[in-house]
A = this chain, B = another copy of it.
Amino acid sequence: MTSHPLAYAARAARFRPSGVRSVFDIAMRPGMISLAGGSPDLSVLPREQVAELAAGMIRGAGPDALQYQPAQGLDGTIEAVREVMRAEGVDAAHDRIQVTAGSQMGLQVLTTLLADPGDTVIAEAPTYVGALSVFGGLEARVAQVEIDEHGMLPDALEATIARVRATGSRIPFLYTVPTFGNPSGASMSAARREAVVEICRREGILIVEDNPYGMLAFDDEHRLPLYARDPENVVYLGSFSKIFSPGVRVGWLAAPPELRGRVQLAVEAMTIHASVVGQVLAQRFITETDWRGHVRRSADVYHARRDALMAALDEHMPPGTTWTRPHGGFFTVVTLPPGTPVDGLLDAAIDARVVYVPGSEFMADGSRADTLRLAYSFEPEHRLAEGARRLGEAIRALG
């Protein structure tokens, strides 16, 4: 076979296998315990009811569910999105909502519209690996800001802004997962939210707030989205993936109307619109089922699993290991004691039939090889415990 005459664009080199997706196949191997993917547990879904929704979607909406539709999203889906956002304390007008083919696509479109090559996006350290893929693919740089268990450190944010600006690089936006962060599990406190919003307003920096996990709280604390504090300067990214189904591939964003209109044009150019069957199914889930009850039951499941994983980490991790204790969401980040050998740890873990995502995946510079992201969302409690045991064994075997 002769080589074909393909010459790739410069940006093609930016698309690299993500550590999250490359362990996807491994996680499917028989006997493997996956602490890797951020998959929701869908066993709580009322499956027969969803099956009826799906049939009713075709019988009732009929061609409307199968035909081309407006790029902004179906009116009914936008109204369902508004109901979900109201449950988080946000009242966003219809003309501020854009439905997207998942919030990953929303971030792709926003970054396309806002970041020139060489611009520097500010993000948390560590941050969502899929966001790093988007920024890299569009040739933007990333500057990551230190966080603690209460989220981004305002002083570190100000220092980072000053440092980036001193290099002459423009800052198109700050990207943050302020509530039950991926991978950290940390959440911004109310005081930090106020400070971050205020700093960005003062510095003229747009905030892109990614909030897939906000509804999945293990406590009663209300963590008001940044968007509600400054809707002219914050773009909100939402998703049905964690509260209903990733498979529908439906997310949304809320933005000032002028930006929202431009997003619609870019969505048209990239995907025409989000899957309509996905939109209708998500919309019917919100309007025709006890979706809040489903979210509450899901959060209870994840809460119990967090407890099981934390207890097993206590039991099986080497002395000096630390980890975040999230109050919601899917993930914790484990930091190994100084001096723990980490080269080959993932391979050793896989040999011991447990898989996770190395913490270096969540850093643009590949640092933090001594950290591990563990997901407790998908495996049941006894397997989380066994996974932690196998992981502890793999760490000890290398030491």
Q: State the A residues within 8 Å of B (CB).
A: 1-2, 4-12, 15-18, 21, 24-25, 37-40, 42-43, 45, 47-48, 50-52, 54-59, 62-71, 101-102, 104-105, 108, 112-116, 119, 130, 133-134, 136-137, 170, 172, 204-206, 232-233, 241, 244-250, 256, 258-259, 262, 265-266, 268-278, 281
**Chain B residues within 8 Å of A51, by CB:** 55-59
A4 with B233: CB separation less than 8 A: yes
A269 with B130: CB separation less than 8 A: yes
Q: A24-B70, A54-B57, A137-B269 are in contact. List 15 more A-B contacts (CB 8 A).
A: A8-B262, A15-B266, A15-B268, A15-B269, A18-B269, A25-B70, A42-B63, A51-B56, A51-B59, A54-B277, A101-B271, A102-B271, A134-B270, A248-B275, A278-B278
A249 with B274: CB separation less than 8 A: yes
Measured CA separation A59–B15 after assembly (Å): 36
**Chain B residues within 8 Å of A5, by CB:** 204-206, 233
Closest B residue, CB atoms, query A250: B275
**Chain B residues within 8 Å of A11, by CB:** 112-113, 116
**Chain B residues within 8 Å of A25, by CB:** 70
Measured CA separation A16–B268 after assembly (Å): 10
In the complex this chain forms, how many copies of it are found?
Answer: 2
Closest B residue, CB atoms, query A258: B6
B172 with A7: CB separation less than 8 A: yes
**Least CB distance, A234 to chain B, in whole angstroms:** 9
**Chain B residues within 8 Å of A4, by CB:** 206, 232-233, 256, 259
B133 with A268: CB separation less than 8 A: yes
Measured CA separation A40–B231 after assembly (Å): 39
**Chain B residues within 8 Å of A7, by CB:** 114, 170, 172
Measured CA separation A9–B54 after assembly (Å): 40
Closest B residue, CB atoms, query A204: B5
**Least CB distance, A253 to chain B, in whole angstroms:** 14
Q: A17-B265, A247-B65, A277-B281 are in contact. Are A112 and B272 (CB under 8 A)?
A: no
A232 with B274: CB separation less than 8 A: no
Q: A206-B6, A232-B1 are in contact. Are A137 and B112 (CB under 8 A)?
A: yes
B269 with A108: CB separation less than 8 A: yes
Closest B residue, CB atoms, query A39: B68
The 4 tightest CB contacts between A and B, nearest first, are A247-B276, A275-B275, A5-B204, A55-B55
